[in-house]
Structure 1
Amino acid sequence: MFEQLTQLVQQFGQEAVVNNNAVPNEHNEAVLSEAGNSIFSSLQKMASEGGIEKLAGLLQGNNAQDPSNPTVQQITQQLTGSLGEKFGLNNSDAAGVAGSMIPQILGGLVKKANDPNDSFQITDLIGAISGDGTQTSGIMDTISKYGTQFGLDQNADGKLDMDDAIAVTKSSGGIGGFLGKLFGK
């Protein structure tokens, strides 16, 4: 996941960082690197602290591109503080850089993860964010809790279980298809 994140940071950081006079040129690469690290660590922290519902919400539709989304705001604020602290950017400039990059990068990451023609899949994103099996199971618990709202209850028994997963994966291409259906793929 980090490779895809780095590519998106480079892509969307051109205007926000490299072409921005508020960011000294000698800090361009470090600021871009900080943006990628900030996004990744924020998402991991959210998963480890039980913010699974926030992550699931972020991965649906266009939520990742919405600057008013609380998760996007949280990551933007973290990067804003970090840019001020580490690179001496004033709050307004740091907020401008973070505010223009974070929604675009997160939106691009979710778009790549939901693109069936891209080798990067939503399961890669969840695996990278969650790290170990306990957090992955927490994400799966959230999927079970909210999955019926997204049409994943294939046998209409009111719960998500292995029978539903098997039905969706047979028709939708494996666990990636199962998670993809949940996240709007």
Structure 2
Amino acid sequence: MLEQLMGLIQDHSQDAIVNNPAIPNEHNNDAMQTILGAITGGMQQQAQSGQGGLAGLAGLLGGQAGNGGSGLMSNPIVAGIAQQAIGGLMQKFGLGNSAASGIVAQVLPGVLGSMISKTNDPNDNSFNMTDIMGVMADGKVDMSDVMNIAGKFMGGGQQGGAAGGLGGLLGGLFGGK
């Protein structure tokens, strides 16, 4: 699931991150990783906050929390994710609040909207509620999750074109580049 989520982030980051002079090209993957971490971290916090948290997360992913861009951003779960992403971008890249907020506002609604759409599309099995809840319920993105991603790409995963970007991502996780 994490590799599919990173693919969505890459798809929605062209203008906000890749073409943004405030983020040097050699840090594009790190910026995308920051957003990935905010999304997974925010969802995990929500999942760990008890039954109401799981219900809220299921409602968000089920499309019951406002699918439009502004409606989605007003969801409290999404607002928390956005704040985590903004803080991470400010800290890692020295961006001001408005610059980091602009990046998140350009990327996050598209990524989450696509994720929600794919989760609810019976003809698209790239995201499903069972996998998402399984990753979120274990409470952490740990080494087994990272190894799972790495194993899929080293074994010639189905998304061959995305392997370079994810290889850079994994390199960034372990201090490469």
2:77 and 2:57 map into 1 onto residues whose CA distance is 8
Aligned 1:137-176 pairs, distance under 5 A: none
Q: Distance in 2 between matches of 1:16 and 1:7?
A: 15
Q: Is the 8 A contact 1:57 1:63 kept in 2?
A: no
Can you list the C-alpha shifts for 1:98-147, whole angstroms capped at 9, x where unaligned?
12111111111111111111223222112221127xxxxxxxxxxxxxxx
Per-residue CA deviations over 1:45-92 (Å, capped at 9, x if unaligned) read: 211122223212312326354111111111001100011011111111
Which deviates more from structure 2 when the two are superposed, residues 78-87 or residues 65-74? 65-74
TM-score relative to the length of structure 2: 0.68
Task: State the alpha-carbon separation in 2 of the partners of residues 90 and 38 from structure 1.
Answer: 18
Identical-residue share of aligned pairs (%): 43
Could you say which residue in structure 2 is the equivalent of 1:140? none
Aligned position for 1:5: 5
Distance 2:117 2:87 in 1: 27
- Structure 1: which 5+ residue stretches go unaligned? 133-185
Query: Which residue number in structure 2 is paired with residue 162 of structure 1?
Result: none
SS at match of 2:116: helix
User: Quick check: 1:104 aligned with 2:110?
Assistant: yes
Gaps in structure 2 of 5+ consecutive residues: 140-177
Q: Distance in 1 between matches of 2:56 and 2:101?
A: 22
Q: Deviations over 1:21-61 (max 9, x none)?
A: 22222221110111112101110121112222321231232
- Quote the residue 2:148 is aligned against: none
Q: Higher relative contact order at CA 8 Å, sep ≥6: structure 1 or structure 2?
A: 2
- The aligned amino acid for 2:137 is S
User: TM-score of the superposition, structure 1-length normalised?
Assistant: 0.66
CA distance in 2, matches of 1:113, 1:68: 20
Q: 2:60 matched to which residue of 1?
A: 58
Matched with 1:44 is 44
Q: Residue deviations 1:151-173, cap 9 Å, x none? A: xxxxxxxxxxxxxxxxxxxxxxx
Query: Is the deviation greater in 50-59 or in 10-19?
Result: 50-59
Let me know the Cα RMSD of the aligned residues.
1.7
Which of the numbers 92, 96, 110 marks the counterpart of 2:98? 92
CA distance in structure 2 between the aligned counterparts of 1:25 and 1:90, rounded to whole angstroms: 18
Quick check: 1:126 aligned with 2:128?
Answer: no
Partner of 2:32: 32
Secondary structure at the residue paired with 1:63?
coil
SS in 1 for 2:12: helix
Range with bigger deviation, 110-119 or 83-92: 110-119
